[in-house]
Amino acid sequence: MISGKIYDEWMEQTQLQKLRQILQKVKPEGTVLDVGAGPGFLEQFVDAVATDVNLENLRKADGPKVLCSGDALPFRSLSFDWVFCVDTVHLLKNADELKRVGRNAVITLFCNEHNAEERLAELGRFGKGETFLVKSDKEWDAVLVLRRH
């Protein structure tokens, strides 16, 4: 079983690899909200408000942070230009909150070579947008980018 420091290092390396690829395709401008930020991997690249339900992880994130659930975000409608929800949407019961608070969104589901197409199709339930895969050494992500025009 992987735990403690070994897991943290594996997770950080994996998430940073995937985020670099996402940010090559999506260049968020304006205000950014990171839902399920964990220890703040996105915040290493982008100024964002980090949200999470885990206070211990949230303390590690740089910049502004809010302890809250992605199911009930304490922000006004359309108060962010971008909402990122990386590898967290499967934990939400009310994912419509992501679209409520953000003009644009990046939503990902972790996957692998065996279920990538299924995961890309599953992202369609959040709306029509650009989809693609990103791959780290350890895992893949199916990515959906929703843009309001």
Q: Determine the Cα–Cα distance for residues 84 and 105; give it in Å rounded to an integer.
A: 6
> Which pTM was predicted?
0.92
Q: Is the pLDDT of residue 1 over 90?
A: no
Over residues 90-97, mean pLDDT: 95
pLDDT at 5: 63
Please work out, in degrees rounded to the nearest 5, the angle formed at the alpha carbon of residue 99 by the alpha carbons of 17 and 82. Answer: 45
What φ, ψ does residue 55 adopt, rounded to 5°? -60, -40
The share of the chain scoring above pLDDT 90, in percent, equals 87
Structural domains for the chain = 4-146 (3.40.50.150)
Query: For the chain, what is the mean pLDDT?
Result: 93
pLDDT tens by residue, 37-70: 999 999 999 999 999 999 998 999 999 999 999 9
Q: Is the pLDDT of residue 4 over 70?
A: no
DSSP character string of 52-99: ES-HHHHTTS-S-EEE--TTS--S-TT-EEEEEE-S-GGG-S-THHHH
Query: What is the CB neighbour count within 10 angstroms for residue 19?
Result: 22
Which SS3 state, helix, strand or coil, does residue 38 take? coil
Q: Determine the Cα–Cα distance for residues 128 and 114; give it in Å rounded to an integer.
A: 23
Q: What single DSSP character describes residue 13?
A: H
Over residues 3-30, mean pLDDT: 85
Q: Is the pLDDT of residue 13 over 60?
A: yes
pLDDT tens by residue, 105-120: 999 999 999 999 999 9
pLDDT tens by residue, 135-146: 998 889 999 999
